[in-house]
Structure 1
Amino acid sequence: MAIIKSVWITICMLIVVHVQVGSAQQLVVAPSKNYVQTPEGKPFIWIGDTAWELFHKLNREEVDHYLTVRMKQGFTVIYTVILAEHEGLTLPNAYGEVPLYRQDPAKPNLRYFEHVDYVINKAQSLGLRLAILPTWGNNVQNARDGKRSYIFTPKNAYQYGHFLGDRYKDKPIIWVLGGDRNVDNDQARLIWDKLAEGVRAGNDAKQLISYHPAGESSSAYWFHKSTWLDFNMYQTGHARRSIPGYQYAEAHRLLDPQKAFLDAEPAYEDIPIKFWEYLSKRSPEELIGSVFDTSGIIINRDYFEAGFFTDKDVRQQAYWGLLSGAMGFSYGNNAVWQFVGTGKKWVIPSLYTWQEALTRPGAEQIKHLRFFMERWGFSTRIPDQSLIYGINRHGTSHIRAATNADKSCVCVYTPVNQVIVLNLSLSADTVYKVSWFDPRHGEIQHGEKVVSNGPVEFNPPAAMDDCLLILELKK
């Protein structure tokens, strides 16, 4: 078989073009309701990185470094939060400023927002879009955080939303409400509705809005029919390997009205599986020095017996989701979302500092994911599991398939090296060109052409682990 590596020149050209188009065009939902696009109708490649503490922790030199690396890796969207979860109201940013006066959302500290301005403008100059959470969900009443005082009311939520919408209405931003919290009372729902109403009033409804829920939940549970919710987000989370994210996708495709969707928080690379169980067994004071050091770097990996999510877990959820109808993909790394580094406060112990983690395998493989989405037209893909012949069990070996309207291109993802049998039902004059795409290294291997009818068996190259089978109609 001939081996052809992903064309690096093509990738670089795509990134250069993307940077040059870094204008303040706002995204819109495509007429098909399956993805988002530019006003001219160009499908938007949504590949997000999770940087929740970006505004809160990094100085401008660090911001420049982080955003530049992510742009070069092929990311297009950066998730971050203005009122961060961890001491975001009381711990000053890199320039000594907190976001609100007296913790009142109706009284924003404009000096804090000068740094927010800088980050937004820097991202725009690099051709990146920010998916911004106005606040983390712990600042709105919810059962998880219990009975205590919360800073948001319906009135100040509207005022704060209007301030943000008006201040950033000409910036390439997507607004994301919520923040790892579900909506479990009427007051919370009213506050989120008012926050959305304020944003839309401030920006003349020019920017898209979604909602980020807690693990194994979806924005559709509370807001699917809300007029302000432009697309749905669900979270498969960090509880176990091979969580069937494709089932969330299948469920969202059945909703009425139809709305685009994606997994806003699949398992982060390098995060301990079910980390909360291990961190609750003993106090942090007991674990410092034996499990992790004072800067949050893990020194005893064996303590986390379930292990850590890897780049393979990242790829699995990415391609499962895309071939099940998702509008894009969200990546995260445990060190990067919280910017773990010497002298910086941390939440979940990490294997690396954030600077080291920027080039972890899962992040470096994003360019191959982008190449796949560009090369084989993600926006025209239609999930079609009827192509899979025989038993297709749930779990680590589950196969996903998608095609397009005329079935001129078929894409199949297998998370393990296994025989794939497809029910092609080819006519006598139908011939498919066969290719195998390696999502780890971006390599393409060409196979023999397919001309047979009925169930057809395909054997992945021995050197590939998880991979994609690509069939393209030979004309």
Structure 2
Amino acid sequence: MKTALFTIPLLLTAAMLETRGVAGAPTFPLKVSENRRYLVDQNGAPFLYHADTAWMLLLKLTETEAREYMARRKEQGFNALQVMLTGFLGMTNRAGELPFAGTPPEQDFAQPNERFFTHVDRVIAEAERQGMLLAIAPAWSGCCGEGWAGKLGDGRLKPMNANGPAKCHAFGKWLGTRYGRFSHVMWILGGDNDPDNARAEIRALGLGLKEAAPHQLITYHAASSHSSTDVWPADEPWLDVSMVYTYFRGFDKAWNKNQPDVYEVSHAEFAKIPVRPFFLGESTYEGEHGDWGSALQARKQAYWCVLGGGCGHAYGSPNWNFPAHWRDVLELPGANSLKHLRALLESRSWCKLMPDINNLVAMDGCGRFATNDYTLTALACDGSFALSYLPRKRALTIDLSKVTGPKVVAAWFNPRTGQTMHFWEITEKNRQIFEPPSDGDWVLVLDDASRNHPPPGQKP
């Protein structure tokens, strides 16, 4: 079959275009879409979960600092923050307050500390003013002894287990009653841990939350390489959204040294029945683990989840724990580049994307599967557009017959800068070979010309 190598525009040439803004503020609370693949607001508008992992925001920052932090993340295009409510076991907030009565490890869920939660109230209200979704982990289970679930080394029960299911249920109801008035809140149960050391208690907490605040979504943060639906039954009544969490093969910092890559777990989650929307809740953090924590790795993870069938992702950096130089960390290059991902997706009906799991669209040149260097493609369910994310320059063979219409408009979108380098029209809808214009990661955008899509990254 005839092929052609495209590295320069053929018919249309445009000046380099940069991304221009993102969608307006959603109308909370969020809910699951009718097809159960993504999240929508109260007007039915798709909500791309584009989160920053700021786990210790409620504990390490003052109210003024939290306002500053959220404002900057909003400027960078993030629309959600993932935070811990009570931090690691034994932590106090900036004012020295514990969340509950008792001396750690004793913490009585029936006796919340009003001074601690009044600060939480104010920060949650500030997030509401800024139009940011807050995904709150009420009691972090913990991977490495730092959490609220299980036992201490001396055999004593940690607070989740010591309080027991009845108090956990009551605590969930208390949280839902206190914070149910905030429509921009959702909940993250668990925390870097599979639930077996406190399954009854976590379930009770989730049921209590759902009973008091049924409009607030709940997900579960499992151990790395596991998703929410790997560790909870399909019919778990409080579990609305699944979270996937993994690093990549060869990552030597995790408990499992052969963890699947993000696109692998995304494809697996997408194929599950019953269907649930899912997002990448955690993966490699920019600025940590040496060369592993690069801006490129942060982008790979985000694109791999969304093009793999997910409804969003969470970005991470050392600001999960707010070091003294947290303002500098805010400006890491990966964080500043991810606004272009959101702008690109929101310039198209991204919620129509279906992962090209069997390589029917991207037929050759993707690289080796199950490595940290793989090109991923997704096609809109109506064939109106396709996106391919290339972690590095390579020749990619695409079957253009999968895109509808008599002509295809192709473009190269730079995920580092938000610039679109080239446009050209293709009338021969056969297998074509595409190669990016330079080194680095790129997104190939293929549009049905008759649909009159805006330039990639531009507001519709």
Same fold (TM over 0.5): yes
Q: Using the alignment, how far apart are the partners of 1:338 and 1:309 within structure 2?
A: 16
Structure 1 265/239 Cα, relative in aligned 2: closer, same or farther at 3 Å? farther
Unaligned runs of 5+ in 2: 1-12, 252-258, 451-460
Q: Using the alignment, how far apart are the partners of 1:182 and 1:143 within structure 2?
A: 14
Q: Using the alignment, how far apart are the partners of 1:428 and 1:382 within structure 2?
A: 15
Deviation larger for 410-419 or 447-456 = 447-456
Structure 1 428/183 Cα, relative in aligned 2: closer, same or farther at 3 Å? closer
Structure 1 456/333 Cα, relative in aligned 2: closer, same or farther at 3 Å? same
Equivalent residue number for residue 15 of structure 2: 3
Matched, 1:208 2:222: no
Which structure carries more relative contact order (alpha carbon 8 Å, separation 6+)? Answer: 2
**1:201-222 alpha-carbon deviations (Å, 9 max, x no partner):** 222x111000011211111122
Q: Does the aligned pair in 1 maintain the 2:168–2:205 contact within 8 Å?
A: yes
Equivalent residue number for residue 50 of structure 2: 47
Q: Using the alignment, how far apart are the partners of 2:349 and 2:306 within structure 1?
A: 11
Matched, 1:370 2:378: no
Offset of 1:147 from its aligned partner? 4.0
Structure 1 179/47 Cα, relative in aligned 2: closer, same or farther at 3 Å? same
Matched, 1:257 2:277: no
Offset of 1:3 from its aligned partner? 3.4
Equivalent residue number for residue 156 of structure 2: 148
Q: Secondary structure at the match of 1:225?
A: coil
Matched, 1:245 2:257: no
Matched, 1:84 2:58: no
Equivalent residue number for residue 98 of structure 2: 98
Offset of 1:321 from its aligned partner? 1.0
Q: Does the aligned pair in 2 maintain the 1:143–1:184 contact within 8 Å?
A: no
Alignment TM-score, normalising by the size of structure 2: 0.85
Structure 1 235/144 Cα, relative in aligned 2: closer, same or farther at 3 Å? farther
Structure 1 422/459 Cα, relative in aligned 2: closer, same or farther at 3 Å? same
Structure 1 380/452 Cα, relative in aligned 2: closer, same or farther at 3 Å? same
Q: Secondary structure at the match of 1:3?
A: coil
Offset of 1:386 from its aligned partner? 1.2
Q: Using the alignment, how far apart are the partners of 1:146 and 1:37 within structure 2?
A: 46
Offset of 1:100 from its aligned partner? 0.3
**1:18-44 alpha-carbon deviations (Å, 9 max, x no partner):** 2xx5x6x21100011111111221101
Of 308, 318, 325 in structure 1, the residue corresponding to residue 302 of structure 2 is 318
Equivalent residue number for residue 113 of structure 1: 117
Q: Secondary structure at the match of 2:46?
A: coil
Of 362, 384, 388 in structure 2, the residue corresponding to residue 388 of structure 1 is 362
Query: Structure 1: which 4+ aligned runs deviate by more than 6 Å?
Result: 143-146, 426-429
**1:227-279 alpha-carbon deviations (Å, 9 max, x no partner):** 11001112114774695211111111221211011110011101116xxxxxx
Q: Using the alignment, how far apart are the partners of 2:417 and 2:403 within structure 1?
A: 34
Offset of 1:144 from its aligned partner? 9.9
Offset of 1:406 from its aligned partner? 2.5
**1:347-398 alpha-carbon deviations (Å, 9 max, x no partner):** xxxxxx2111001101111211110121122111111231111363122431
Equivalent residue number for residue 238 of structure 2: 228
Structure 1 419/427 Cα, relative in aligned 2: closer, same or farther at 3 Å? closer
Q: Using the alignment, how far apart are the partners of 2:77 and 2:285 within structure 1?
A: 18
Q: Does the aligned pair in 2 maintain the 1:433–1:448 contact within 8 Å?
A: yes
Q: Does the aligned pair in 2 maintain the 1:422–1:457 contact within 8 Å?
A: yes
Equivalent residue number for residue 453 of structure 2: none
Matched, 1:339 2:322: yes
Q: Secondary structure at the match of 2:172?
A: helix
Q: Using the alignment, how far apart are the partners of 1:417 and 1:315 within structure 2?
A: 15
**1:132-177 alpha-carbon deviations (Å, 9 max, x no partner):** 0011113454489784321121111111111100001021101110
Unaligned runs of 5+ in 1: 274-306, 342-352
Q: Secondary structure at the match of 1:386?
A: coil
Give the letter aligned to residue 260 of structure 1: P
Q: Does the aligned pair in 2 maintain the 1:160–1:198 contact within 8 Å?
A: yes
Offset of 1:86 from its aligned partner? 5.6
Alignment TM-score, normalising by the size of structure 1: 0.83
